[in-house]
Structure 1
């Protein structure tokens, strides 16, 4: 039985790897490593709406999505993702993960357990002083997220956050806004509910 489990784990890794292949990053700062910022973990908890992302395969086609982080007594973080597939009035899909803060990272690097034994690294690369906006990154910059405490932010705030991602070396042409309101579905710059750009 352990051999079967090992084979399944290897197949899962291959599948995840195949789904995360990305085109070359043209940003001249692409090779510069992401720098994390220290965070006040209790203040960081709560609901964060996904304003824009370079999504991983399981996020594509979701609208009205958000993350809910809760600090546990054992120091780990309950990480819940919720979103509606294609339509804001559709059923809410939820995923639950358990995250662990990497010691010595200033609470900015989390190991996210997708399912045992698969973990990924999530980096907090920006949070504003009022904890209204945050940017999460992935070490190779193939994934990234802009979060806000409110489901709607101003165009100026969005452009400023996108400029930060560009300065970090992200290929911002791959970032798509996530519709949070019915009026945003189908607008230029927002991800299509069918999962396309």
Structure 2
């Protein structure tokens, strides 16, 4: 039986999609060309903390990160989390490649891992690719939080406000250091134009 042209297109497109998905998953899982982690606690496993999911929802500004490839160079970036009726989480990410550039928007759907106390999420990038995101710390007032990935090649410091004082920032880096992160890889994300070019801030 002769196959239709559309059938042949689907047969070609599916391997390409799977290959692209595998590359994205590989990059996000921390299998990158980053430098070796010199932290003596680098091999210690990351443990998620329990969170009050309704309280955890809302807007969080990216204060600092070891970014994944798609968010490098962003300024004024933030995440907005919304708890759905089905228990999953709408995960929206916003950022700009410069303060005069248009805002980009990415949307993911996250599923809370059973038994994790709300601290481990499976982030669906697109079907069938998921990656694991861990909440490593949230302060008692839910003003600051630290997120990470297994492997410690990616990490984020979030806050409810777009700016953070240096003392608080250093205290959160100290927590990451105790968890085994190479904190020298973290760069602060400019949330205001005046922060561009300042020491410790990423370059757009």
Sort the TM-score into its range (normalised by shorter chain).
over 0.9
Q: CA deviation at 1:14?
A: 2.9
Q: 1:18 to 1:65 in 2, by over 3 A?
A: closer
Candidates 102, 115, 125, aligned match of 2:113: 102
- Structure 2 stretches of 5 or more lacking a match? 1-9
Candidates 121, 127, 147, aligned match of 2:138: 127
Cα deviations by residue, 1:43-65 (Å, 9 ceiling, x for unpaired):
00000000000000000010000
Larger radius of gyration: 2
- The residue number in structure 2 matching 1:143 is 154
- The residue number in structure 1 matching 2:84 is 72
Q: CA deviation at 1:12?
A: 2.9
- The residue number in structure 1 matching 2:199 is 188
1:14 and 2:23 aligned: yes
Whole-angstrom CA distance in 2 between matches of 1:18 and 1:159:
28
- The residue number in structure 2 matching 1:5 is 14
Cα deviations by residue, 1:1-23 (Å, 9 ceiling, x for unpaired):
36742442134313552585122
Instruction: Provide the alpha-carbon RMSD of the alignment.
Output: 1.5
Whole-angstrom CA distance in 2 between matches of 1:29 and 1:2:
46
Whole-angstrom CA distance in 1 between matches of 2:40 and 2:202:
25
TM-score between both structures, scaled by the size of structure 2? 0.90
- The residue number in structure 2 matching 1:173 is 184
TM-score between both structures, scaled by the size of structure 1? 0.93
- Structure 1 stretches of 5 or more lacking a match? none
Whole-angstrom CA distance in 1 between matches of 2:12 and 2:138:
44
Whole-angstrom CA distance in 1 between matches of 2:119 and 2:180:
18
Whole-angstrom CA distance in 2 between matches of 1:127 and 1:18:
26
Whole-angstrom CA distance in 2 between matches of 1:69 and 1:111:
14
Cα deviations by residue, 1:103-162 (Å, 9 ceiling, x for unpaired):
100000000001111110000000000000000010110100000000001000000011
- The residue number in structure 2 matching 1:28 is 40
Count of residue correspondences: 192
